[in-house]
Structure 1
Amino acid sequence: MTAQQSPPQPNPNPSRTAQAPRPVGRGLLWSAAAFLLGSLLVYNSVDTSADPKPQSGPAVAASASPQTNGSSSAAVRGLEMARSAPKRLRIPAIAVDAPFTPLSLGPSGQLDAPPAGNRNLVGWFKDGASPGERGASILAGHVDTKTGPAVFMQLESIKPGSTINITREDGTVAIFKVDSVETFNKKQFPNDRVYADAPTAQLRIITCGGAYDRKVRDYVDNVVVFAHLASFRRA
């Protein structure tokens, strides 16, 4: 991914999501650059598999296309929450129920990836917007690791309208609705669209997708879920 200049917001290149279980073992690595209202990060997977096989087929994006910057017309302007770190992510449609770990930029300017040893862990770019806060909150996770399928193995199969629930440290639950699920080649990743500052509370979930390139030991695509804050409640 590339970046612009502003408070932190990552660029696209996370580990892959997918449909049915895929081959195991790829870690993720993100590189970052400055971004308008945030740093832009690029999410690339790093092969950690003992048996680097390609996945079962190219990723296919779900239908529906988001409006400006991936936001939906259903997004409620003005509906936003105070800043609070996320604690747990639940996506009923794909049976995801996982805790969060904060991600930050390392000395080299790369965004540290979630620990590859924990398959059920979601990373949140802590220097960007928190889930529910105005702006685009960036989440990422592995599609698989060397020990098996990971938290976002089924991310690609989410349909528009699906619900994403994020429990936060302040005792509230931010409820997002999926606008679209799209697959982008990493070499042509739309950084501006994915990481641009948003006028409403939005969410981006990124993981790897597409075929597995043996030469570079990485997936060729990124899968991105675009969602908007639909409501919130006490936990």
Structure 2
Amino acid sequence: MPAIAESAPAVPRRRPTWSFLAATLLAGVLLVHHGISGDGPPQPDRGAARLGTDTPPADPLPAAAPQRIRIPEIGVNAPLTRVGRDAEGWLDAPPPDKANLAGWFPGAVTPGERGTAVVDGHVDNAEGRAVFYGLGALKKGEHIEIDRADGRTAVFEIHGIDVVDKKHFPSRRVYGGTGLPELRVITCGGTYSKGTGYAGNVVLYGLLTSVRDRT
């Protein structure tokens, strides 16, 4: 994949309005483009795509750059770096040689704010498994933790997980706002071809349900 975008301030002073971002997303330009290699990462269970949780959402947080993502159930504990779009308009990913590194998209809200935050990462690379190899094994009700620059940890409960076709990516469902503080975690998935990479994306849907202070 192309290199990530140049670094920017910790929290952008100006972000595109959601209406502008949503229009871009609905045009299908913010997707994870392709994987590097693969030998069968886990895929979501049938029926896991059904969205919804009985857990009430936590109050939204102010903007603060995310620093680290942890998913205890699959052993993820990785730093976060900014990612932009590649030359074709797809959501870029961290450098493929950095197996334990995830990316966050600063054009959307930061994780914990009201709106839909976006995190992505590789499922594998030329040397083997990468940060989100196990993403498809997660279940509804499990949790994702995001350490933020303000000293707080935003905890998201998984309320859905799906594998979607890149050629027919459901942008409205994946990126659309619900008025709540939400998170999407995306990696490559589905069938794999050496010539074209992965045919789909695993998409995880999370809702902010609690906040912890780290100080």
TM-score of the two chains, using structure 1 as the length reference: 0.75
Structure 1 residues 207 and 46: CA distance shift in structure 2, 3 A: closer
Distance 2:135 2:35 in 1: 19
Cα distance in structure 1, aligned partners of 2:35 and 2:156:
29
**TM alignment of 1:52-63, pairs within 5 A:** 55-56=39-40, 59-61=43-45, 63=47
TM superposition shift of 1:173? 0.5
Q: Which runs of 5+ in 2 are unaligned?
A: 1-17
CA distance in 1, matches of 2:164, 2:68: 27
Answer yes or no: is 1:230 the counterpart of 2:214.
no
In the alignment, structure 1 residue 178 sits paired with structure 2 residue 168: no
Q: CA RMSD in A?
A: 2.5
Matched, 1:74 2:55: yes
Offset, 1:58: 8.0
Call closer, same or farther: CA 1:105–1:198 in 2, change over 3 Å: same
Over the matched positions of the two proteins, sequence identity in percent amounts to 37
1:117 CA drift (Å) = 1.2
Stretches of structure 1 that go unaligned for 5 or more consecutive residues are 10-32
Within a 5 Å distance, the mapping from 1:178-217 to structure 2 comes to 178-216=158-196
The answer to whether the 8 Å contact 1:7/1:128 transfers is: no
Q: Does the C-alpha gap of structure 1 residues 121 and 58 become closer, same or farther in structure 2, counting only changes over 3 Å?
A: closer
Residues 88, 97 of structure 1: 8 Å contact kept:
yes
Distance in 1 (CA, whole Å) between partners of 2:201 and 2:123 is 10
The one-letter code sitting in structure 1 at the alignment partner of 2:53 is S
Richer in strand (by share): 1
Contact 1:59 1:211 in 2 (8 A): no
Question: Whole-Å Cα distance in 2 between the matches of residues 112 and 185 of structure 1?
Answer: 17
1:11-160 mapped onto 2 (5 Å cutoff): 34-35=24-25, 41-47=30-36, 55-56=39-40, 59-61=43-45, 63-67=47-51, 72-76=53-57, 79-106=59-86, 109-160=89-140
Distance in 2 between residues matched to 1:40 and 1:220, nearest whole Å: 16
Cross-structure match for 1:23: none
